Structure 1
Amino acid sequence: MNHHVTLIPGEGIGPEVSTATRRILEASGVEIEWEEISGRADESADQSQRVNQAAIDSVRRNRVALKGPMATAIAGGAPSVNVALRKSLDLYANLRPVKNIPGVKSHFEDVDLIIVRENTEDLYSGLEHEVVPGVVESLKIITEKASTRIARFAFDYARRHGRKKVHAIHKANIMKLSDGLFLRSVRTVAAQFPEIQYRELIVDNACMQIVMDPLQFDVLLLPNLYGDVMSDLAAGLVGGLGVVPSANIGDHCAMFEAVHGTAPDIAGKGLANPTALLMSALLMLDYLGERAAAERIEAALLKTYRDGIFTTKDVGGKANTEQFTNAVLDALAATTSK
């Protein structure tokens, strides 16, 4: 089957890791027709809306996108293109599997958890304004509709993948109305999945618990802002953002992306590690029904890490991007020929 996929290479190291990932996907035999397009509007566009409308249209048309990292200005500048893409496409579920990779040093072994983050509202939406000079108001929006559908996504995922527990993470002891609504919505959904253990944790306690014993968790379900913080925290348990995937999924389309930075200090030097984007592409293949190809590529990737000869500097190796990519390709060819 020939799949049509939007490719948003991203910025900084984005084009390098996108090219490497594309080479590996094409070597797997999966037929993909790529529509490559920039995620950011050109300089002539309205500065308040920097996302490229053509990219949004492309993803809507193709229903699937693979996206490299894109920069977001801190404490100023235009709104986040990353957030704008997710909101414009109503990609309400952020899926972040967190699992150890052989050969990558970490403080824990056998970590295998799933973070499900609501992706469209809450404080992370950036709805804020200056009331008077020196006073800024930021709006935390929580709705029953969004809370219910992300809860259903999490429990459906747990059921389909044989997961046993879902923890809802909140701060309803203080934000009794907003986080309280989130919890009530989740509880209603949880009652429809009696085979799955349901637990709740206050977010600060959850952060402490996950760094003490991540093995106690299976699926974590969070509102947008807490999910952003805890998903990065969890990535640190297994080696960082460079070795974990991410998916943004809606009812009509999905975007799979690397969530690490653009690394401008090494951009163009051929040193970037494409693992995060490649692993995100494996989630994409699974979404497209190409599970066999995803398993072959994953086996090749893990063999490359187990061998430890051609790993990149960020995970303690000495290989450059091309050497790492070629090692995965060689392992894939060996796997395919068996």
Structure 2
Amino acid sequence: MQICVIPGDGIGSEVMAAATAVLRVLAPDLTLCEAEAGWGVFQRTGVALPAETLAAAREATAILFGAVASPSHPVPGYRSPIVELRRTLDLYANIRPTIGPGVDLVVVRENTEDLYSGRERLEDDGNTAIAERVITRTASARIVRTACELARTRQAAGRPGKITIVHKANVLRVSDGLFRTVALEVAADFPELTFEERLVDVAAMQLAAQPQRFDVIVTTNMFGDILSDIACIHGGGLGVAASSNLGHGRALFEPVHGAAPDIAGRGIANPTAALNCVVMLLEWIDRTHTAERLRRAMDAVASEGIRTPDVGGDATTREVTEAILEQIATQA
């Protein structure tokens, strides 16, 4: 079983070093191969996602992706490699869990279309920019079905089995109107679940103020991106948030924190999100006992106060990683 590790930009290499060190101890039978992608690779070679990296990702059982530092201005020939991987490998479901005091929710985000389809253009006068929003029946149906199946699994474990369908169909009547229509059609196939609708602005307000009211949220790409970042505040913030990108028999796991160029190279990046990605990966390949070992080790180290500066500690990335490895050793 092969895992493709793509460190990417900024702190990606630092947190992926922690993730691979732990993974090699917990699952020594896995084969880890490293590949490159990102803004730095583009600046050096003119390609952000080299063909060799894409080939390695296709051949792997799963992918661990560190971070990408995409520029905030148009660059001819550049496209975000993480967006490209999601679309090329059809990793259509982005799953972002948030667990905190009184909070246990999941944002299920469509991952392949919407404003991320890349259909943008500048009008001839240079004063008007236009982006096309793409919403399809097929993508909407499969993401809502994924959310329903997840809610049903969570219901069996004691959760409410409630789906919140988030849209802006009162304004985006055609695009979000289609998403809403399809979502309600799929909902009819899951009578054991409870469904509600929220406009995205209301959902954002309630998610910030009353996160405990939510169980599973399903929405489109852009809205899901924003709402999942709001949700993660209740689970410790971006520094510890992890996500999975799932397709048919494929998976990519990535921290949510981004490249963090302000601290890159200083050795203080929080490896928690990357290690949470390892937990999700292990669960995805049906090694739940091993995943639980890592989770317990991480909790023990955090309770001892061994933490990076972003969460109130003074430990380095290496020190946190080594402490977690020591905890894993004591469990053996």
TM-score, length-normalised on structure 1? 0.92
- Partners of 1:159 and 1:52 in 2: how far apart? 39
The residue that corresponds to 2:116 in the other structure is 124
Deviations, residues 135-177 of structure 1 (Å, cap 9, x unaligned): 1110011000000000111111111232411101000011111
Please identify, of 120-129 and 75-84, the stretch whose mean Cα deviation from structure 2 is larger.
Answer: 75-84
2:174 maps to 1:177: yes
Letter in 2 for 1:280: C
RMSD: 1.5
Q: Assess, with a 3 A threshold, how the Cα gap between structure 1 residues 261 and 29 changes in structure 2: closer, same or farther.
A: closer
The residue that corresponds to 2:290 in the other structure is 293
- Partners of 1:34 and 1:259 in 2: how far apart? 22
TM-fit CA distance, 1:267: 1.7
Please identify, of 6-15 and 139-148, the stretch whose mean Cα deviation from structure 2 is larger.
Answer: 6-15
Deviations, residues 31-84 of structure 1 (Å, cap 9, x unaligned): 210110002455575x5x632222221111113101101111102222222211
- Partners of 1:327 and 1:196 in 2: how far apart? 42
- Partners of 2:18 and 2:48 in 1: how far apart? 27
TM-fit CA distance, 1:125: 2.5
- Partners of 2:197 and 2:313 in 1: how far apart? 40
Which of 143, 151, 172 is 2:136 aligned to? Answer: 143
Aligned positions of 1:98-117 closer than 5 A: 98-100=98-100, 109-117=101-109
CA contact (8 A) 2:241 2:257 kept: no
Please identify, of 143-152 and 182-191, the stretch whose mean Cα deviation from structure 2 is larger.
Answer: 182-191
- Partners of 1:93 and 1:150 in 2: how far apart? 6
CA contact (8 A) 1:30 1:290 kept: no
TM-fit CA distance, 1:226: 0.2
The residue that corresponds to 2:25 in the other structure is 27
Which of 231, 236, 242 is 1:239 aligned to? Answer: 236
The residue that corresponds to 1:59 in the other structure is 57
SS in 1 for 2:242: coil
- Partners of 1:197 and 1:266 in 2: how far apart? 44
Which of 252, 262, 280 is 1:255 aligned to? Answer: 252
TM-fit CA distance, 1:233: 1.0
- Partners of 1:323 and 1:273 in 2: how far apart? 11
Letter in 2 for 1:134: N
Q: Assess, with a 3 A threshold, how the Cα gap between structure 1 residues 44 and 267 changes in structure 2: closer, same or farther.
A: closer
- Partners of 2:42 and 2:141 in 1: how far apart? 37
TM-fit CA distance, 1:113: 0.6
CA contact (8 A) 2:98 2:235 kept: yes
Please identify, of 200-209 and 228-237, the stretch whose mean Cα deviation from structure 2 is larger.
Answer: 228-237
SS in 2 for 1:6: strand
TM-fit CA distance, 1:199: 0.7
SS in 2 for 1:9: strand
SS in 2 for 1:68: strand
CA contact (8 A) 1:63 1:253 kept: yes
Which of 163, 185, 203 is 2:200 aligned to? Answer: 203
- Partners of 1:62 and 1:301 in 2: how far apart? 27
The residue that corresponds to 2:325 in the other structure is 329
The residue that corresponds to 1:83 in the other structure is 83
TM-fit CA distance, 1:91: 0.6
The residue that corresponds to 1:278 in the other structure is 275
Q: Assess, with a 3 A threshold, how the Cα gap between structure 1 residues 174 and 230 changes in structure 2: closer, same or farther.
A: same
Q: Which runs of 4+ in 1 moved over 4 A?
A: 41-45
CA contact (8 A) 1:245 1:279 kept: yes
Structure 2 unmatched runs, 5+: none
Give aligned-pair identity as a percent.
Answer: 40
Letter in 2 for 1:21: A
Matched pairs, number: 323
Please identify, of 167-176 and 79-88, the stretch whose mean Cα deviation from structure 2 is larger.
Answer: 79-88
The residue that corresponds to 2:2 in the other structure is 4
The residue that corresponds to 2:72 in the other structure is 74
Q: Assess, with a 3 A threshold, how the Cα gap between structure 1 residues 326 and 112 changes in structure 2: closer, same or farther.
A: same
SS in 2 for 1:200: strand
Which of 14, 37, 40 is 1:39 aligned to? Answer: 37
Letter in 2 for 1:315: V
